Amino acid sequence: MTFGKKTLSGVHAPHNKHATEDCSAVRMPVPEKVYISMQQHMGAPCKPLIAKGDTVCVGQLIGSSDAFLSSPIHSSVSGTVTDMIEIINVNSVRAVCVVIETDGKQTVDESVKPPEVNDTAGFIAAMKASGLVGLGGAGFPSFIKFNPKNLPEVDTLVVNGAECEPYITTDYRTMIDAWEDVIDGIAILQKYLDLEKAVIGIEKNKPKAIELLREKTSGMKGVSVVELNDLYPKGAEKVIAYETTGRVIPAGKLPNEVGIIVSNVTSVAFISRYMKTGMPLVEKTLTVDGSAIAKPQNVTAVIGTTYRDLAEFCGGYKAEPRLMISGGPMMGTAVLSDTYPVIKSNNALLVFDSVDESQLKETACIRCGRCIRTCPYHLMPANFEAAYQARDTAMLRKLNLPLCMECGCCSFVCPARRPLVQTNRLGKKLLAAEAKKTGGKS
């Protein structure tokens, strides 16, 4: 992967943030029932620690796993467990789901109290207990990210405030409405991870956030704010790491291997609140928007709230939904119904009343090269497609398919409307299946 300039390629995707960018998050009342999935993170699913008929409280640990790559799950409400069902998550993974009938009291569990942290090990333990995963959408357990094997070699924290996906404004509102939590979270990470520098990357189309955080961090040692070009996908981990620090994260490597830890700005703000209160990750703020939503707004909801309840809180549907997306339009997932529950990594629910059918009609690839020019890593999506159709796994590896971050730039600019991102995902599954069959040998 070679970079010839400081600003990487991308696309000028319409931002469409005007409906919610000036809307502070509104807290939604607790629904009558919540559906808490035991798979809300990258890695192994949790096993329920409660049973049907049990009474639970807010913040109570209800799911855990012995696997290293996992994250504990807590009850977001107080009430009674009425059922244990199997659901298919938005990412098509089957998971156990705990159904809780809420009592409206929101009684806090006695285990919820500020953690006692005196050193790095204590901080990492607290982060694991908090249930924090990356809130930018990936859902990677944060305690693992904050504890790399080469931590003494890591010197820089990159705070991701780009929020480059169209429509979504929750990170922006965090920077505006909870800036104290943001800068306090940065200070905590610098202290316990012994990081000399912290860089906050924000797209230039968010001037209020840039000005505010520059003012509030002016007295903090080693902290700076970098203004990024408003070119999607500035929020991608490798992209923002390069454009804020100049360091290249090679293919197959992690940020810590070049001395960086990247964390979403809302994750950083959560760390501050958790250290003060001990309340684990039991709620999520989402942007609810789209042409079918009566009242677009940013909503803070308890985890396990259904999309239907979320939409009803926003005035319901003003027209028949034709397209529903969990997440943003570039990297989100289209869903078939509004019965899915909110999980930790959700940051938006978009509902539209029409679909431009002409935009969905596929035609033959004309070899225009737009997909290559707009890819931040200058990968070759059209060649991926050909290799996948031929089931040529050797060629997929040679073309470096695993480096694709599925940002959607290639599909966005393709005049032939080829399903390039979807094909890339299928290609990765093909490689994974081959690796499993051969025991990791190519």
Kindly write down the DSSP assignment for every residue of 64-96, as one continuous string: E-SSSS---EE-SS-EEEEEEEEEE-TTS-EEE
What pLDDT, on the 0 to 100 scale, is given for residue 6? 59
What pLDDT, on the 0 to 100 scale, is given for residue 440? 64
Q: Spell out where 154-221 has E strands.
A: 156-160, 197-203
Asked if residues 209 and 202 have their Cβ atoms less than 8 Å apart, the reply is yes
pTM recorded for the entire structure: 0.93
CA dihedral 141, 144, 145, 150 (to 10 degrees): -170
What pLDDT, on the 0 to 100 scale, is given for residue 3? 35
What pLDDT, on the 0 to 100 scale, is given for residue 137? 74
| Sole residue written with tokens 């009674």 | 80
* Calpha distance 203→6 (Å, rounded): 14
Could you count the other beta carbons within 10 Å of the beta carbon of residue 318? 13
What pLDDT, on the 0 to 100 scale, is given for residue 326? 95
What pLDDT, on the 0 to 100 scale, is given for residue 2? 36
3-state class of 230 per DSSP? coil
What pLDDT, on the 0 to 100 scale, is given for residue 360? 75
String of b and e for 87-119 (b: at least 16 CB within 10 Å)?
Answer: bebbeeeebbbbbbebbeeebbbeebeebebee
What pLDDT, on the 0 to 100 scale, is given for residue 382? 94
What pLDDT, on the 0 to 100 scale, is given for residue 53? 97
Q: What structural domains does the chain harbor?
A: 120-277 (3.40.50.11540), 370-438 (no CATH)
Positions in the chain short of pLDDT 70: 1-7, 356-358, 440-442
What pLDDT, on the 0 to 100 scale, is given for residue 358? 65
